[in-house]
Amino acid sequence: MKPGKVYLVGAGPGAPGLITVRGLECLRRADVVVYDHLVDESLLQSVPPHAERVYVGKSAGRHTMPQGEINDLLVSRAKSGKAAVRLKGGDPFVLGRGGEEAEALAQAGIPFEIVPGVTSATAVPAYAGIPVTHRGLSSYFTVVTGHEDPGKPESGVPWDILAQGTGTVVILMGVSNLADIAGKLMEHGRPGSTPVAAITQGTWTSQRTVVGTLADIAGKASGSGLRPPAVIVVGEVVGLGEGLNWFESLPLFGKRVLVTRPRHQAAALVELLAERGAQPIEFPAIEIEPVADLTALDEAIAGIEGYDWVVFTSVNGVEAFFGRVESLGLDARCLKGVRAGAIGTATADALRRWGVRADFVPEVFTSQGLLDGFQNLSVEGQHFLLPRGDISGQDLVDGLVGQGARVDQVTVYRVVTPEELPEDVKGMIAGGEIDVITFTSPSAVNGLLSLMGEQRGFVQMATIACIGPTTAAAAAREGLAVDVVAQEHTVSGLVEAIEHRFSGTRS
């Protein structure tokens, strides 16, 4: 059998967005992924469903699998003809034992490729606002390990030379030996007043920076409860961090925000929250499913020319309706002569992707806003089609009928609640570890409270943020005190409202 190939891929320093394009390409084609402790597991969402996932993480005092067994695992999977990705934190060739793994593959005659990653040695200081070089302060930097092989007869790090220089020293894996490292540098002549930064959980939203000097950093780090993983930076460049620490200064830095939208719609909200420094935690409190019986929808599409208006109240309605149109061998031309209405810019954008420009979008993205707009358009005697979900309210229908319109509703999708809430998410809510819970629909409110069961009261421990008044009213009916309602009833408006709520505060 022709052997497969092993890709030694650097996953970057922590934040999943810092993996390289080539690294993602390898993950998407993998048959096996062997990954480390410091790899963000969200990266595994890019892996094909059939792929084997093997965790071989190592943390302080705890090794899931010895290095020799990891090497053997990579060789055996490749010999069976598989494409294996060895996903390692940072860069595989910077203090990551990637060289040892490559040697084992070469000796076994296994084809391999090295995919460099963003090393924590430069990325983590950058996320703390510390440039490792600066024309006026440091012309070079040195990366060293703070945790050498205990079997070595003597240290391979020239602490005496590093102490005499003026360049920046970046130390990886040195938290447990910080006092000893600082002592060696001072013993060999580096002034005790030299600035030092210890950065834990770098590039994650739990990042924290402790600043001191060689003389006191060990005590400050210990007193603050600093734990691995951490990057230690020694040198005058540390002083720049106070003014340049852009990441920890983001408006929602460190806030844990629960996103309850259906997973296929959550990406935009998750991205906007992450851009502002929040830690989005995805849990879809509802899911969208197709209807089993398509007879009514097919009849509505077949008779679409008999309608004056087709009005969409959600992106889900647009996707379900036009998905069926496409399945029937039709396209947007079937709406020729029929005007289209949409509640909100997101729904209008969804229509545009199917080749339809909305004829009417209300200024206020609610059913009442839509009704107010149609009042000015004089729709008496006109025929409306509303493709909607199975639990949509009656207000829009009653309002249009009250204006003299004829209205047909057709169910194009179902809203269902997942069977259970993951215990870790439920525990975070009950433990007060969630700062904000976002709701973008009444059904998401009902779904989350249903899943919480007898623990639903703990939901109120978080700030409750709703995309608009309709969702806020649904939350209020369930006994929740709503803290944030977006003025612009969009995902970006919701994030802006949350940011305004927390302006001037830090977790």
Q: Give the list of residues 6+ apart from residue 127 with CB closer than 8 angstroms, or none.
A: 13, 199, 202, 203, 207, 247
User: DSSP label at 375?
Assistant: H
- Residue 355: CA count within 13 A, CB half-sphere: 11
Q: What is the Cα–Cα distance from 438 to 445, expressed in whole angstroms?
A: 9
**Which is the catalytic residue, given 31, 36, 91, 435?**
36
- Beta strands (DSSP E) in 203-296 are 208-213, 230-234, 256-259, 279-282, 287-290
- Nearest Cα residue to 286 out of 469, 133, 415: 415
Q: What is the Cα–Cα distance from 162 to 166, expressed in whole angstroms?
A: 8
- Residue 459: CA count within 13 A, CB half-sphere: 30
The owner of tokens 């009916």 is: 477
φ, ψ for residue 209 (rounded to 5)?
Answer: -120, 130
**Is residue 1 flagged as an active site residue?**
no
Identify the bridge partners of residue 53 per DSSP, sorted by sequence position: 33
3-state secondary structure of 341: strand
Identify the bridge partners of residue 231 per DSSP, sorted by sequence position: 172, 199
DSSP collapsed to 3 states, 169-217: EEEECCCCCHHHHHHHHHHCCCCCCCEEEEEECCCCCCCEEEEEECCCH
Q: Can you say whether residue 453 is alpha, beta or left, with left for phi > 0 and alpha for psi between -120 and 50 degrees?
A: left
Q: What is the Cα–Cα distance from 289 to 67, expressed in whole angstroms?
A: 45
- Residue 498: CA count within 13 A, CB half-sphere: 36
**Which is the catalytic residue, given 173, 255, 428, 435?**
173
Q: What is the Cα–Cα distance from 352 to 335, expressed in whole angstroms?
A: 13
Q: Give the list of residues 6+ apart from residue 179 with CB closer than 8 angstroms, or none.
A: 218
3-state secondary structure of 268: helix
Q: What is the Cα–Cα distance from 157 to 159, expressed in whole angstroms?
A: 6
In this structure, are residues 261 and 234 in contact, taking their beta carbons and an 8 Å threshold?
Answer: no
Amino acid code (one letter) for 214 = L
Q: What is the Cα–Cα distance from 344 to 492, expressed in whole angstroms?
A: 12
Q: What is the Cα–Cα distance from 149 to 157, expressed in whole angstroms?
A: 11
Identify the bridge partners of residue 465 per DSSP, sorted by sequence position: 438, 484
**Is residue 36 flagged as an active site residue?**
yes
* Residues recognised as catalytic: 36, 58, 173
